[in-house]
Amino acid sequence: MYLLNRCPTRSLQAVTPQEAWSGHKPSVTHLRVFGCVAYAKIPDARRTKLDDKSEKFIFVGYGDRRMGYNLYNPITKKVIMSRDVIFEEDKTWQWNDDQEAVKWISTDLILEDEVEVPTVLAEDPILAANEPQSPVHRSLVFNKRNTPELSSTPPSASSSEEPRRMRNLEELYDATQVMEDTTLFCFFADNDPLSFNKAITEEKWIEAMDEEIYAIEKNDSWKLINLPENKKAIGVKQVYKTKKNAKGEVQRFKARLVAKGYKQRKGIDYGEVFAPVARLETIRLMIPLATQHRWKIYQLDVKSAFLNGFLEEEIYVEQPLGYTEAENESKVYKLKKALYGLKQAPCAWNTRIDRYFQDNGFEKCPYEHAVYVKKEADGSILFACLYVDDLIFTGNNPTMFEDFNKSMVHEF
């Protein structure tokens, strides 16, 4: 009846009953082959990370209006309705295939171990003790829900071969650990150094560390002083990273001096830590807006952005390894500006660049605090979207682009 209502009929002069009733010509793009195999998505709330994302069904019809498709599961004997369905219209359910009925069993993992246990487990301990001991094949079965089930079955008497013996769980665990250690070793074999002692053996990382310390001192981020009483200095460490482009080619070797922010104390070493970022929906809106008006879109990345944020709290850090002044080894650095790793660093940077935007004629969007707009009297407009230290900006006046770019370079 569902299909007949959407097919032309001679009695209505080549008009479908659905169109005659509703006044709208029905669509047939959603029609599928009846009885074909269909895969319905399992909601995220009903499955774990490693479970299948879909379940196999048979397509048996259509739901009311736009509710979805009716699907039948021959194993559970239930019909469900779903919208998120993928069809294989050239395949049908194999009703005579026993594999379909036991498809979950075929994926079980069985670990077998030959052990000595009594073949008769009687309630009378004396009777059980007098029974002959014989090897029993025990299987530890991990079903689909990862629940271990222990089963005991006697070995087949008709089999002339000895039962295959696998390692016990302890041996298997040791072997797995060896495999994991080997895999991790291979993963880190050609990776960036994890310690200062390793980095100083290569000239490229020494140059990267020199560049980072130079940037901090050029930015006037700290001052060397004696540690005041009742104050604690926070440790720092170098983090190393090889920057590559989209083709996998090495662009530069980067060293970042990071403060050990996990040692900071709330209310003493930091207060506000929140910093807004642009929503992905906002970026998706700005791109088609520029496309519709044929505007160019530019992207900026602020180098060492967090080093530009001013601190309101008194923060002291230790001198980094390899850059300790010989005559002032006991002194520490008092931070004027933020370092990477500090809990308030993102907030301090956002406060700084927000003040810059507003001092240069930009207005903050009241509904999206990471979007700024600058309007001129002649109708020129510039949109800037901020995501931590990355910016994209667009507008209708190339002169505003140049002025904004020069201003950013001068300020940061």
Question: What is the reported pLDDT for 94?
Answer: 84
242: left (phi over 0), alpha (psi -120 to 50) or beta: beta
Write down the H helix ranges in 257-395: 280-293, 345-359
Domain enclosing residue 119, as ranges: 108-186
Question: What is the reported pLDDT for 355?
Answer: 92
**48 & 113 share domain:** no
Question: What is the reported pLDDT for 186?
Answer: 54
Q: What's the pLDDT band for 108 if we cut at 50, 70, 90?
A: very low
Q: If you count DSSP H runs as helices and E runs as strands, how many of each does the chain have, helices first?
A: 9, 18
Name which residue leads in pLDDT, 7 or 168: 7
CA proximity to 299, closest of 315, 307, 287: 287
pLDDT at residue 411 tops 90: no
Residue 346 lies in a domain: yes
Q: Which long-range contacts (CB under 8 A, 24 or more apart) does 123-128 make?
A: none
Tokens of 261: 């922010």
Residue 14 lies in a domain: no
Query: Coil, strand or helix: which one is 37?
Result: strand
State the Cα–Cα distance between residues 21 and 17, nearest whole angstrom.
6
**209 & 332 share domain:** yes
Name every residue whose Cβ is closer than 8 Å to that of residue 244 and which is 6 or more positions away in sequence: 250, 251
**96 & 148 share domain:** no
Name every residue whose Cβ is closer than 8 Å to that of residue 83 and which is 6 or more positions away in sequence: 66, 67, 68, 69
Residue 351 lies in a domain: yes
- Residue 36 in contact with residue 87, Cβ under 8 Å? yes
Segment 27-48 shows an average pLDDT of: 90
pTM of the model: 0.51
Residue 329 lies in a domain: yes
Q: What's the pLDDT band for 126 if we cut at 50, 70, 90?
A: very low
Tell me 311's DSSP state: P
**136 & 166 share domain:** yes
**90 & 134 share domain:** no
**93 & 59 share domain:** yes
**270 & 367 share domain:** yes
State the Cα–Cα distance between residues 219 and 236, nearest whole angstrom.
18
Residue 89, domain CATH: 2.30.30
Torsion angles phi and psi, residue 87, rounded to 5: -105, 145
The last residue of one of the domains, among 186, 216, 246, is 186
The last residue of one of the domains, among 85, 101, 117, is 101
State the Cα–Cα distance between residues 296 and 382, nearest whole angstrom.
11
State the Cα–Cα distance between residues 58 and 351, nearest whole angstrom.
58
pLDDT at residue 147 tops 70: no
Compute the C-alpha angle 257/264/217, nearest 5°: 30
**293 & 388 share domain:** yes
Residue 350 lies in a domain: yes
The last residue of one of the domains, among 101, 119, 154, is 101
**93 & 119 share domain:** no
pLDDT at residue 12 tops 60: yes
Residue 151 lies in a domain: yes
pLDDT digits (tens, 9 = 90+) for 193-211: 888 888 988 899 999 999 9
Name which residue leads in pLDDT, 93 or 125: 93
pLDDT digits (tens, 9 = 90+) for 266-304: 888 888 888 888 999 999 999 999 999 999 999 988 888
**305 & 209 share domain:** yes
Segment 76-80 shows an average pLDDT of: 91
pLDDT at residue 151 tops 50: no
Residue 1 lies in a domain: no
**215 & 168 share domain:** no
Residue 73 lies in a domain: yes
State the Cα–Cα distance between residues 412 and 403, nearest whole angstrom.
14
Q: How many structural domains comprise the chain? A: 3
**384 & 331 share domain:** yes
CA proximity to 48, closest of 113, 172, 144, 161: 144
